[in-house]
Amino acid sequence: EAGVVQSPRYKIIEKKQPVAFWCNPISGHNTLYWYLQNLGQGPELLIRYENEEAVDDSQLPKDRFSAERLKGVDSTLKIQPAELGDSAVYLCASSLAGHTDTQYFGPGTRLTVL
Amino acid sequence: ELKVEQNPLFLSMQEGKNYTIYCNYSTTSDRLYWYRQDPGKSLESLFVLLSNGAVKQEGRLMASLDTKARLSTLHITAAVHDLSATYFCAGGDYGGSQGNLIFGKGTKLSVKP
């Protein structure tokens, strides 16, 4: 069974540029998460989807970050414009039976903002 | 709000030795997870502990949960180099339909010959 797929794996951009990350969850997993992981830290939740609905986006900086999950499968996370402090790893995860079920993580996208 | 603290944050071990990683959490948590992360890789779920006194073992790793002490431990027996990785514990902070996993900062384990 394929795991959570993310692309790109690495992205280098200049500040003020836009950037987008894509995630394909494990087949059949209705719950999808985007996390931010800074160096030396644990992941922190940005947004959680149940199917196509964003049910917890309280930690998403909405002035520059946006996300969508059209059709309740793939998801895209966008930053516009990027700032130096956005350099981090962006992780996508999915779970089968809701937000209390085990989460399976993708390999992440490492973003460097210059 | 749930807070999760791990210690130590860095651990250098010799092969064949035993050691324990500690995970303290601040408030009641429905469940406690342990994840492993290799450099540049995704987090891999190791254990989920659901109740007081729960103990799970896989190979050289054993995890336990004491909900009264708000403490989970990950014990490493006779460490081998392949166990070198960063280990995270995460507590479930679920309030109704909201809430999520709260992760500790991770323990970077290095096993040396």
pLDDT computed for residue B100 by the predictor: 84
**Ordered alpha helix ranges (H), chain B:** none
Range among A95-99, B51-55, B79-83 with highest mean pLDDT value: B79-83
d(C-alpha A93, C-alpha A109), whole Å: 12
pLDDT computed for residue B53 by the predictor: 86
How far separated are the first and last CA of chain A, in Å rounded? 37
Q: Exposed, middle or buried by CB within 10 Å (0-12, 13-18, 19+), for A108?
A: buried
Q: In this model, does residue A82 exceed pLDDT 70?
A: yes
Q: In this model, does residue A30 exceed pLDDT 80?
A: yes
- Banded pLDDT at A72 (limits 50, 70, 90): confident
What residues of B are in the A interface, CB distance below 8 Å? Answer: 4, 30-31, 33, 35, 40-45, 48, 88, 90, 92, 94, 97-101, 103-106
Q: Exposed, middle or buried by CB within 10 Å (0-12, 13-18, 19+), for B39?
A: exposed
- What is the average pLDDT score of chain B? 92
- Banded pLDDT at B31 (limits 50, 70, 90): confident
Q: Exposed, middle or buried by CB within 10 Å (0-12, 13-18, 19+), for B81?
A: exposed
pLDDT computed for residue B98 by the predictor: 60
Q: In this model, does residue B97 exceed pLDDT 60?
A: no
Q: What is the DSSP letter of A73?
A: S
Looking at beta carbons, which residues of chain B come within 8 Å of A91?
A: 42-43
How far separated are the first and last CA of chain B, in Å rounded? 41
Interface test mutation site (partner A, options B100, B103, B108, max chain A beta carbons within 10 A) = B100
Contacting A residues, span 34-73, partner chain B, CB-CB under 8 Å: 40-45, 48, 55-56, 58
Contact A53, A32 (CB under 8 A): no
d(C-alpha A101, C-alpha B31), whole Å: 10
